Amino acid sequence: MTNNVQHLSLYEQIKHHLISEIELAHLLPHDKLPSESELTKQFSVSRITVKKAMSDLVELGIVYRIQGKGTYVAVQGKGAVAVEPPIQPQRAPAVALLLPFINNQHNALLINGVESMLSEAGYSLLLCNTENSIQKEERVIREMVERHVAGMIVYPVDGESYNREILHLTLKSFPLVVMDRYLRGIDTNCVCPDNFRGAQEGVNHLISLGHRHIGFLSTTINGTSSIEDRLLGYEKALAEHHIPIDRRYRYVDIELGEPKPIKAKIRDFLSRHPELTAIFAINPGLGLQVIKVASEMGIRVPDDLSLIFFDDFELSEFYSVRPTFISQEENMLGKEAAKLLVSIMENPDQGTKKLFFPPKLIIRESTTKPGSRG
Protein backbone atom coordinates (compact mmCIF):
# COMPACT_ATOMS: atom_id res chain seq x y z
CA MET A 1 0.00 0.00 0.00
CA THR A 2 2.81 2.37 0.87
CA ASN A 3 4.42 1.85 -2.52
CA ASN A 4 1.11 2.46 -4.30
CA VAL A 5 0.59 5.73 -2.42
CA GLN A 6 4.14 6.73 -3.26
CA HIS A 7 3.67 6.00 -6.95
CA LEU A 8 0.34 7.84 -7.00
CA SER A 9 1.97 10.85 -5.41
CA LEU A 10 4.80 10.84 -7.95
CA TYR A 11 2.65 10.69 -11.07
CA GLU A 12 0.26 13.30 -9.58
CA GLN A 13 3.28 15.55 -9.04
CA ILE A 14 4.26 15.18 -12.68
CA LYS A 15 0.68 15.91 -13.79
CA HIS A 16 0.43 19.05 -11.64
CA HIS A 17 3.83 20.25 -12.79
CA LEU A 18 2.85 20.02 -16.45
CA ILE A 19 -0.58 21.59 -15.85
CA SER A 20 1.15 24.44 -14.02
CA GLU A 21 3.56 24.94 -16.93
CA ILE A 22 0.58 25.18 -19.30
CA GLU A 23 -1.39 27.59 -17.05
CA LEU A 24 1.66 29.84 -16.67
CA ALA A 25 2.00 29.86 -20.48
CA HIS A 26 5.45 28.30 -20.28
CA LEU A 27 3.98 25.72 -22.62
CA LEU A 28 1.66 27.07 -25.33
CA PRO A 29 -1.00 25.26 -27.42
CA HIS A 30 0.62 22.74 -29.80
CA ASP A 31 4.00 22.99 -28.04
CA LYS A 32 5.69 19.63 -27.72
CA LEU A 33 6.07 18.27 -24.18
CA PRO A 34 9.33 16.76 -22.92
CA SER A 35 9.68 13.12 -23.92
CA GLU A 36 8.94 10.29 -21.49
CA SER A 37 12.66 9.64 -21.27
CA GLU A 38 13.35 13.27 -20.36
CA LEU A 39 10.61 13.34 -17.72
CA THR A 40 11.89 10.07 -16.25
CA LYS A 41 15.30 11.65 -15.71
CA GLN A 42 13.89 15.00 -14.53
CA PHE A 43 11.73 13.47 -11.76
CA SER A 44 13.91 10.40 -11.07
CA VAL A 45 10.95 8.06 -11.53
CA SER A 46 10.20 4.96 -13.56
CA ARG A 47 8.93 5.16 -17.12
CA ILE A 48 5.68 3.50 -16.01
CA THR A 49 5.03 6.42 -13.64
CA VAL A 50 5.55 8.94 -16.45
CA LYS A 51 3.30 6.95 -18.81
CA LYS A 52 0.52 6.96 -16.22
CA ALA A 53 0.75 10.74 -15.75
CA MET A 54 0.74 11.37 -19.52
CA SER A 55 -2.21 9.02 -20.06
CA ASP A 56 -4.25 10.89 -17.47
CA LEU A 57 -3.45 14.23 -19.17
CA VAL A 58 -4.57 12.81 -22.53
CA GLU A 59 -7.84 11.56 -21.03
CA LEU A 60 -8.46 15.01 -19.55
CA GLY A 61 -7.91 16.61 -22.94
CA ILE A 62 -5.01 18.70 -21.65
CA VAL A 63 -2.55 17.16 -24.11
CA TYR A 64 -2.78 15.06 -27.27
CA ARG A 65 -0.49 12.53 -28.90
CA ILE A 66 0.68 12.04 -32.48
CA GLN A 67 1.86 8.50 -33.16
CA GLY A 68 5.61 8.40 -33.65
CA LYS A 69 5.97 12.15 -33.08
CA GLY A 70 5.33 12.93 -29.41
CA THR A 71 2.86 14.61 -27.01
CA TYR A 72 1.60 18.18 -27.50
CA VAL A 73 -0.35 20.82 -25.54
CA ALA A 74 -4.05 20.97 -26.45
CA VAL A 75 -5.96 24.23 -26.95
CA GLN A 76 -7.45 25.43 -23.63
CA GLY A 77 -10.93 26.91 -23.27
CA LYS A 78 -11.93 29.62 -20.76
CA GLY A 79 -12.25 28.09 -17.30
CA ALA A 80 -12.16 24.55 -18.67
CA VAL A 81 -10.06 22.27 -20.73
CA ALA A 82 -11.23 21.84 -24.32
CA VAL A 83 -10.37 18.52 -25.87
CA GLU A 84 -8.10 18.96 -28.88
CA PRO A 85 -9.06 16.65 -31.74
CA PRO A 86 -6.14 14.41 -32.56
CA ILE A 87 -4.02 15.64 -35.44
CA GLN A 88 -3.72 12.87 -37.99
CA PRO A 89 -0.18 12.09 -39.05
CA GLN A 90 0.52 13.02 -42.65
CA ARG A 91 -0.05 10.22 -45.13
CA ALA A 92 2.98 8.83 -46.85
CA PRO A 93 3.32 10.29 -50.37
CA ALA A 94 2.10 7.80 -52.95
CA VAL A 95 3.92 6.31 -55.92
CA ALA A 96 2.02 4.60 -58.76
CA LEU A 97 3.21 1.32 -60.27
CA LEU A 98 1.64 0.49 -63.66
CA LEU A 99 1.82 -3.15 -64.79
CA PRO A 100 0.37 -4.78 -67.94
CA PHE A 101 -0.47 -7.92 -65.94
CA ILE A 102 -0.53 -8.76 -62.23
CA ASN A 103 -1.38 -12.47 -62.42
CA ASN A 104 2.03 -14.08 -62.76
CA GLN A 105 5.07 -14.83 -60.62
CA HIS A 106 7.31 -12.47 -62.62
CA ASN A 107 5.22 -9.41 -61.77
CA ALA A 108 4.55 -10.54 -58.20
CA LEU A 109 8.30 -10.51 -57.57
CA LEU A 110 8.61 -7.08 -59.21
CA ILE A 111 5.83 -5.71 -56.99
CA ASN A 112 7.46 -7.12 -53.88
CA GLY A 113 10.79 -5.47 -54.75
CA VAL A 114 9.19 -2.11 -55.53
CA GLU A 115 7.00 -2.08 -52.40
CA SER A 116 9.79 -3.06 -50.02
CA MET A 117 12.06 -0.25 -51.22
CA LEU A 118 9.30 2.39 -51.29
CA SER A 119 8.11 1.44 -47.81
CA GLU A 120 11.65 1.74 -46.46
CA ALA A 121 11.91 5.21 -48.03
CA GLY A 122 8.57 6.36 -46.55
CA TYR A 123 6.34 6.11 -49.64
CA SER A 124 3.11 4.19 -50.19
CA LEU A 125 2.32 2.21 -53.34
CA LEU A 126 -0.65 2.48 -55.71
CA LEU A 127 -0.83 -0.62 -57.92
CA CYS A 128 -2.46 -0.17 -61.34
CA ASN A 129 -3.27 -2.93 -63.86
CA THR A 130 -3.21 -1.56 -67.44
CA GLU A 131 -4.44 -4.90 -68.84
CA ASN A 132 -1.78 -4.75 -71.58
CA SER A 133 -3.70 -1.91 -73.29
CA ILE A 134 -1.91 1.22 -74.50
CA GLN A 135 -5.17 3.19 -74.26
CA LYS A 136 -5.75 2.16 -70.65
CA GLU A 137 -2.10 2.81 -69.81
CA GLU A 138 -2.39 6.40 -71.09
CA ARG A 139 -5.66 6.90 -69.19
CA VAL A 140 -4.21 5.55 -65.93
CA ILE A 141 -1.16 7.81 -66.27
CA ARG A 142 -3.45 10.84 -66.58
CA GLU A 143 -5.49 9.70 -63.56
CA MET A 144 -2.36 9.27 -61.45
CA VAL A 145 -1.17 12.77 -62.36
CA GLU A 146 -4.59 14.13 -61.32
CA ARG A 147 -4.22 12.31 -57.99
CA HIS A 148 -0.91 14.12 -57.48
CA VAL A 149 1.20 11.02 -57.01
CA ALA A 150 4.81 11.79 -56.14
CA GLY A 151 6.15 9.64 -58.96
CA MET A 152 5.46 6.72 -61.29
CA ILE A 153 7.04 3.43 -62.33
CA VAL A 154 5.69 2.18 -65.66
CA TYR A 155 6.09 -1.33 -67.08
CA PRO A 156 5.08 -0.68 -70.72
CA VAL A 157 2.54 -2.89 -72.46
CA ASP A 158 3.57 -5.38 -75.15
CA GLY A 159 4.18 -3.90 -78.59
CA GLU A 160 4.45 -0.36 -77.26
CA SER A 161 7.04 1.75 -79.07
CA TYR A 162 5.59 5.17 -78.22
CA ASN A 163 3.38 6.62 -75.49
CA ARG A 164 2.40 10.27 -75.66
CA GLU A 165 1.63 10.46 -71.95
CA ILE A 166 5.08 9.09 -71.02
CA LEU A 167 6.66 11.53 -73.48
CA HIS A 168 4.63 14.37 -71.94
CA LEU A 169 5.72 13.45 -68.41
CA THR A 170 9.35 13.18 -69.56
CA LEU A 171 9.27 16.64 -71.14
CA LYS A 172 7.80 18.04 -67.89
CA SER A 173 10.55 16.34 -65.84
CA PHE A 174 7.93 14.42 -63.85
CA PRO A 175 9.55 11.74 -61.60
CA LEU A 176 9.21 8.66 -63.80
CA VAL A 177 11.01 5.34 -64.25
CA VAL A 178 10.26 2.87 -67.04
CA MET A 179 10.83 -0.72 -65.90
CA ASP A 180 11.63 -4.06 -67.57
CA ARG A 181 11.81 -2.56 -71.08
CA TYR A 182 12.40 0.84 -72.60
CA LEU A 183 10.74 2.97 -75.27
CA ARG A 184 13.04 3.78 -78.15
CA GLY A 185 13.26 7.48 -78.93
CA ILE A 186 12.03 8.65 -75.50
CA ASP A 187 14.88 9.71 -73.23
CA THR A 188 13.48 8.64 -69.90
CA ASN A 189 14.87 6.92 -66.81
CA CYS A 190 14.72 3.14 -67.09
CA VAL A 191 15.73 0.03 -65.18
CA CYS A 192 15.83 -3.12 -67.31
CA PRO A 193 17.33 -6.57 -67.43
CA ASP A 194 19.97 -6.91 -70.13
CA ASN A 195 17.74 -8.93 -72.45
CA PHE A 196 20.38 -9.09 -75.19
CA ARG A 197 22.96 -10.55 -72.84
CA GLY A 198 20.48 -12.94 -71.22
CA ALA A 199 19.38 -14.41 -74.56
CA GLN A 200 22.96 -14.65 -75.75
CA GLU A 201 23.97 -16.52 -72.61
CA GLY A 202 21.02 -18.91 -72.93
CA VAL A 203 21.76 -19.75 -76.57
CA ASN A 204 25.48 -20.07 -75.77
CA HIS A 205 24.51 -22.71 -73.22
CA LEU A 206 22.59 -24.67 -75.87
CA ILE A 207 25.50 -24.37 -78.31
CA SER A 208 27.96 -25.54 -75.64
CA LEU A 209 25.88 -28.72 -75.34
CA GLY A 210 26.30 -29.33 -79.07
CA HIS A 211 23.08 -27.89 -80.51
CA ARG A 212 23.25 -26.27 -83.96
CA HIS A 213 19.59 -26.24 -85.01
CA ILE A 214 17.97 -23.93 -82.46
CA GLY A 215 14.48 -22.46 -82.88
CA PHE A 216 13.30 -19.07 -81.60
CA LEU A 217 9.68 -18.63 -80.43
CA SER A 218 8.15 -15.31 -79.43
CA THR A 219 5.04 -13.21 -79.41
CA THR A 220 4.89 -10.27 -81.84
CA ILE A 221 8.25 -8.52 -81.83
CA ASN A 222 7.58 -5.10 -83.33
CA GLY A 223 7.71 -2.30 -80.76
CA THR A 224 8.67 -4.41 -77.73
CA SER A 225 12.30 -3.61 -76.96
CA SER A 226 12.75 -6.57 -74.62
CA ILE A 227 11.76 -9.10 -77.32
CA GLU A 228 13.77 -7.28 -79.99
CA ASP A 229 16.85 -7.44 -77.77
CA ARG A 230 16.30 -11.14 -77.05
CA LEU A 231 16.14 -11.89 -80.78
CA LEU A 232 19.36 -9.93 -81.31
CA GLY A 233 21.03 -11.88 -78.49
CA TYR A 234 19.89 -15.18 -80.04
CA GLU A 235 21.30 -14.20 -83.44
CA LYS A 236 24.52 -12.83 -81.95
CA ALA A 237 25.23 -16.14 -80.19
CA LEU A 238 24.70 -18.07 -83.43
CA ALA A 239 26.88 -15.68 -85.44
CA GLU A 240 29.74 -15.80 -82.93
CA HIS A 241 29.81 -19.60 -83.24
CA HIS A 242 29.61 -19.41 -87.06
CA ILE A 243 26.17 -21.02 -87.12
CA PRO A 244 24.06 -19.79 -90.06
CA ILE A 245 21.01 -17.72 -89.03
CA ASP A 246 18.08 -19.54 -90.61
CA ARG A 247 14.97 -17.34 -90.51
CA ARG A 248 12.80 -20.44 -90.95
CA TYR A 249 13.71 -21.30 -87.38
CA ARG A 250 12.05 -18.10 -86.13
CA TYR A 251 8.37 -18.08 -85.19
CA VAL A 252 7.63 -14.56 -83.99
CA ASP A 253 3.91 -13.89 -84.16
CA ILE A 254 2.46 -16.21 -81.53
CA GLU A 255 -0.13 -14.49 -79.36
CA LEU A 256 -0.84 -15.70 -75.82
CA GLY A 257 -4.38 -15.98 -74.47
CA GLU A 258 -5.80 -18.52 -76.93
CA PRO A 259 -4.35 -21.94 -76.04
CA LYS A 260 -5.68 -23.93 -79.03
CA PRO A 261 -4.25 -21.66 -81.76
CA ILE A 262 -0.92 -21.46 -79.89
CA LYS A 263 -0.65 -25.23 -79.62
CA ALA A 264 -1.59 -25.63 -83.29
CA LYS A 265 1.08 -23.14 -84.35
CA ILE A 266 3.77 -24.79 -82.23
CA ARG A 267 2.78 -28.25 -83.51
CA ASP A 268 3.00 -27.02 -87.09
CA PHE A 269 6.37 -25.36 -86.40
CA LEU A 270 7.87 -28.52 -84.87
CA SER A 271 6.43 -30.69 -87.64
CA ARG A 272 7.93 -28.51 -90.37
CA HIS A 273 11.36 -28.54 -88.71
CA PRO A 274 12.11 -32.04 -87.37
CA GLU A 275 15.82 -31.15 -87.49
CA LEU A 276 15.43 -28.74 -84.55
CA THR A 277 17.10 -30.10 -81.43
CA ALA A 278 16.52 -27.07 -79.17
CA ILE A 279 14.06 -24.22 -78.67
CA PHE A 280 14.66 -20.80 -77.15
CA ALA A 281 11.32 -19.25 -76.05
CA ILE A 282 10.96 -15.67 -74.86
CA ASN A 283 8.69 -16.42 -71.87
CA PRO A 284 7.41 -19.30 -69.70
CA GLY A 285 3.95 -19.18 -71.28
CA LEU A 286 5.38 -20.26 -74.64
CA GLY A 287 7.86 -22.60 -73.00
CA LEU A 288 5.12 -24.55 -71.21
CA GLN A 289 3.15 -24.85 -74.45
CA VAL A 290 6.23 -26.31 -76.14
CA ILE A 291 6.48 -28.97 -73.42
CA LYS A 292 2.78 -29.87 -73.78
CA VAL A 293 2.83 -30.02 -77.59
CA ALA A 294 6.09 -31.97 -77.66
CA SER A 295 4.61 -34.53 -75.25
CA GLU A 296 1.52 -34.92 -77.44
CA MET A 297 3.77 -35.45 -80.48
CA GLY A 298 5.91 -38.05 -78.73
CA ILE A 299 8.89 -35.70 -78.57
CA ARG A 300 10.76 -36.03 -75.29
CA VAL A 301 12.09 -32.96 -73.44
CA PRO A 302 15.06 -32.83 -73.11
CA ASP A 303 16.13 -36.12 -74.75
CA ASP A 304 14.77 -35.19 -78.19
CA LEU A 305 14.28 -31.44 -77.76
CA SER A 306 16.08 -29.15 -75.31
CA LEU A 307 14.17 -26.11 -74.09
CA ILE A 308 15.16 -22.84 -72.47
CA PHE A 309 13.15 -19.66 -71.84
CA PHE A 310 13.11 -16.36 -69.95
CA ASP A 311 11.62 -16.31 -66.42
CA ASP A 312 10.53 -19.06 -64.07
CA PHE A 313 6.93 -20.02 -63.31
CA GLU A 314 5.14 -20.87 -60.07
CA LEU A 315 5.85 -24.33 -58.64
CA SER A 316 8.31 -25.13 -61.45
CA GLU A 317 10.38 -27.07 -58.92
CA PHE A 318 7.63 -29.70 -58.89
CA TYR A 319 7.21 -29.89 -62.67
CA SER A 320 7.86 -33.20 -64.43
CA VAL A 321 10.86 -31.62 -66.18
CA ARG A 322 12.28 -28.71 -64.23
CA PRO A 323 12.98 -26.04 -66.87
CA THR A 324 16.28 -24.34 -67.57
CA PHE A 325 15.50 -20.62 -67.58
CA ILE A 326 16.98 -17.14 -67.60
CA SER A 327 16.13 -15.33 -64.39
CA GLN A 328 15.64 -11.58 -64.61
CA GLU A 329 16.15 -11.29 -60.84
CA GLU A 330 12.77 -9.56 -60.64
CA ASN A 331 12.86 -8.73 -56.94
CA MET A 332 16.17 -6.92 -57.36
CA LEU A 333 14.88 -5.25 -60.53
CA GLY A 334 11.85 -3.90 -58.66
CA LYS A 335 14.01 -2.62 -55.81
CA GLU A 336 16.39 -0.86 -58.21
CA ALA A 337 13.51 0.78 -60.10
CA ALA A 338 12.04 2.08 -56.84
CA LYS A 339 15.47 3.15 -55.60
CA LEU A 340 16.07 5.17 -58.76
CA LEU A 341 12.62 6.78 -58.54
CA VAL A 342 13.17 7.79 -54.90
CA SER A 343 16.50 9.31 -55.89
CA ILE A 344 14.80 11.28 -58.70
CA MET A 345 11.98 12.50 -56.44
CA GLU A 346 14.41 13.69 -53.80
CA ASN A 347 17.05 15.05 -56.20
CA PRO A 348 15.14 16.14 -59.33
CA ASP A 349 18.06 17.93 -60.99
CA GLN A 350 20.04 14.78 -61.77
CA GLY A 351 20.45 13.56 -65.35
CA THR A 352 18.55 10.73 -67.02
CA LYS A 353 19.75 7.25 -66.06
CA LYS A 354 19.43 3.96 -67.93
CA LEU A 355 20.36 0.96 -65.80
CA PHE A 356 20.73 -2.54 -67.25
CA PHE A 357 21.24 -5.58 -65.02
CA PRO A 358 22.60 -8.96 -66.15
CA PRO A 359 20.07 -11.81 -65.98
CA LYS A 360 21.12 -15.12 -64.46
CA LEU A 361 21.09 -18.48 -66.28
CA ILE A 362 19.56 -21.22 -64.11
CA ILE A 363 20.46 -24.65 -65.55
CA ARG A 364 18.06 -27.49 -64.73
CA GLU A 365 16.70 -30.57 -66.51
CA SER A 366 15.13 -29.25 -69.74
CA THR A 367 18.47 -28.92 -71.57
CA THR A 368 20.93 -31.64 -72.51
CA LYS A 369 23.08 -32.78 -75.44
CA PRO A 370 21.27 -33.26 -78.80
CA GLY A 371 19.26 -36.48 -79.06
CA SER A 372 17.98 -38.52 -81.95
CA ARG A 373 14.94 -36.45 -82.99
CA GLY A 374 14.19 -36.58 -86.70
The Cα–Cα gap between 117 and 337 comes to: 9
Strands 151-154 and 94-99, sheet pairing: parallel
- Backbone region of residue 181 per phi and psi (left: phi > 0; alpha: psi in -120 to 50; beta: other values): beta
The answer for residues whose C-beta is within 8 angstroms of residue 82's C-beta and 6 or more apart is 61, 74, 75, 76
- Range with the poorest average pLDDT among 42-51, 143-152, 181-190: 42-51
Calculate what percentage of the chain has a pLDDT beyond 90. Answer: 52
**Domain boundaries defined on the chain:** 2-81, 94-193+330-357, 195-329
Q: 7 falls in which pLDDT band (50, 70, 90)? A: very low
Q: 373 falls in which pLDDT band (50, 70, 90)? A: low
Question: Angle 119-123-128 (CA atoms, 0-180°, nearest 5)?
Answer: 95
The Cα–Cα gap between 182 and 152 comes to: 15
Question: Angle 208-209-210 (CA atoms, 0-180°, nearest 5)?
Answer: 90
The Cα–Cα gap between 290 and 269 comes to: 10
Q: 164 falls in which pLDDT band (50, 70, 90)? A: confident
- Range with the poorest average pLDDT among 102-106, 146-150, 305-309: 102-106
Supply the CATH classification number for the domain 94-193+330-357.
Answer: 3.40.50.2300
As to burial, measured by CB atoms within 10 angstroms (0-12 exposed, 13-18 middle, 19+ buried), residue 151 is buried
Q: Which fold has domain 195-329?
A: Rossmann fold (3.40.50)
| CATH-assigned architecture of domain 2-81 | Orthogonal Bundle (1.10)
Q: What is the average per-residue pLDDT within 358-368?
A: 95
pLDDT, averaged across the chain: 86
Q: pLDDT tens across 246-294, in order? A: 999 999 877 766 656 889 999 999 999 999 999 999 999 899 999 999 9
On the question of a common fold for 2-81 and 94-193+330-357, the answer reads no
The Cα–Cα gap between 13 and 306 comes to: 81
Q: pLDDT tens across 61-106, in order? A: 888 888 667 888 887 644 334 444 444 445 678 999 999 988 778 8
pLDDT number for residue 113? 93
